[in-house]
Amino acid sequence: MPTTSPRRLHLNAFLMNAGHHDAAWRHPRAQPERVTDLRYFQQLAQTAERGLLDSVFLADGLALWGKVRHNALGGFEPLTLLSALAAVTEHVGLIATVSTTFNEPFHTARKFASLDHISGGRAGWNIVTSGTVNEARNFGRDEHLEHRLRYERAREFVDVATKLWDSWEDDAILLDRERGVYADTDKVREINHRGEYFGVQGPLNVPRTPQGYPLLVQAGSSEDGKEFAAQYAEAVFTAQQTLADGQAFYKDLKSRLARYGRTEDQLLVLPGIAPVISSTEAEARALEQELTDLQVPEYGLAQLSGMLGTDLTGLPLDGPLPELPEERDINGNKSRFTLVAELAHRDGLTLRELIARLGAGRGHRVFAGTPEQIADQLQEWFTQGAADGFNIMPPHLPGGLEDFVDHVVPILQRRGLFRTEYTGRTLREHYGLARPANRLTAPAAGEGQPV
């Protein structure tokens, strides 16, 4: 009788400079002086690999986020950094955020193909459409492209990138020294794409990679974002505050897959969680309060203004949120706007309280407790239909990641919820996802012409 492997958690380490809490850089356990120190990030990646985590993940934006006066912001471009991390790790996946709004498909496909080769098949692409007008203004635009149009462009962008990755067949390289034939040019094809946003001839100038494509990840939870994820994504990074919200999102997203001919196991839902860990619950809550006490209200107010598309400058911190615009009028991150607005109204939070609640996770769930309590929370969401795994967001680094790897991972392993060794080599194998077939092996009209 065939046996099926038990379902296991998937865990990513979401790395962010001094840590995810906006005051982490002020805490004595953090090392903000090292945010442009390669060795620092190499050590973090090695810690994640020691914990057998699926991947490390780097967010990115194309503008200087927030107020650098009050936080350790800025740093490395993700693909450059992950190439350096690949050299000192063997198994852990390497996921970079790259925008489809301010890049071109050929550049992006080439860079990810390079990372996948360099790492031996560990590359992942977090596909974003960018969310701020400041990013647009760094690329010659006064305003940001409208939300729906950003997703239209993203669909064509990903379609072109996958065609480029398929422009070399797996066995195109012959290395026939005797005949002087390096590659079978019947298996290296132009893609001849002509669409609304892009015209790309191809082929890519990088051979097909160990994974075929990098793992495709998406992080938007708006209606446009969820539909995009159902069509293309293999993992979704998301933010929910409650188990019920997590279950609703999980069910909604998985229910959309069938219309694209996909099954539920082809898309993994990975909510973010910022675990504040200590040996006792009281100590964990004390650490959480220490970080809150280090917050700069001016910074938190600016961040909150950005999330809500509303200038909150000068409003009383101990007062409520003002009247907000309708979600349909938000051209930035719609899903985060909705989450933050609902959190404030549901719990009756003042601006000061909302800034404190968002400090460690920017809308992602924050939980302070013992390693056992953290493991209980992960297990509950995993077994109750709210998650296939988690994006672990240490509030402070490097200690927050070390605490998770050294104290929470062993509990999950003892419960049979997490791997005790890497059994695959590629990021797709860590996730239990198939290597994609080459779509251009049987070329359609106008595509796949040999070169």
**Single-letter residue type at 372:** E
Show the tokens assigned to 103. Answer: 């890049």
Does the pLDDT value for residue 1 go beyond 60? Answer: no
Please give the pLDDT value at position 275. 96
**By percentage, how much of the chain surpasses pLDDT 90?**
69
Q: What are the φ/ψ torsions at residue 44 (nearest 5 degrees)?
A: -65, -45
The 3-state DSSP composition of the chain as helix, strand, coil percent (nearest 5) reads 40, 15, 45
- How far is Cα 224 from Cα 128, in angstroms, rounded to an integer? 12
Please give the pLDDT value at position 216. 98
The dihedral formed by the CA atoms of 130, 344, 242 and 419, expressed in degrees to the nearest 10: 50
Please give the pLDDT value at position 423. 96
Please give the pLDDT value at position 107. 97
Give 123's pLDDT tier (boundaries 50, 70, 90): very high
Higher pLDDT, 90 or 305: 90
**Which residue is listed with tokens 């998650």?**
387
Does the pLDDT value for residue 329 go beyond 60? Answer: no
pLDDT in tens, 148-207: 899 999 999 999 999 999 999 999 999 999 999 999 999 999 999 999 999 999 999 999
pLDDT in tens, 382-401: 999 999 999 999 999 999 99
Give 310's pLDDT tier (boundaries 50, 70, 90): confident
Please give the pLDDT value at position 335. 65
Q: What is the pTM of this model?
A: 0.90
pLDDT in tens, 27-50: 999 999 999 999 999 999 999 999
Give 211's pLDDT tier (boundaries 50, 70, 90): very high
Please give the pLDDT value at position 95. 98
Please give the pLDDT value at position 145. 82
Show the tokens assigned to 440. Answer: 């251009």
Does the pLDDT value for residue 325 go beyond 70? Answer: no
Question: Taking residues 367-377, what's their average pLDDT?
Answer: 97
- How far is Cα 70 from Cα 43, in angstroms, rounded to an integer? 26
Question: Taking residues 224-248, what's their average pLDDT?
Answer: 93
Please give the pLDDT value at position 331. 59
Max avg pLDDT among 4-18, 90-104, 140-154, 330-344: 90-104
Does the pLDDT value for residue 445 go beyond 50? Answer: no
- For 160-291, list the strands marked E by DSSP: 173-176, 181-183, 189-190, 193-194, 199-200, 215-218, 235-238, 268-277
Give 247's pLDDT tier (boundaries 50, 70, 90): very high
Are 163 and 446 in contact by the 8 Å Cβ rule? The answer is: no
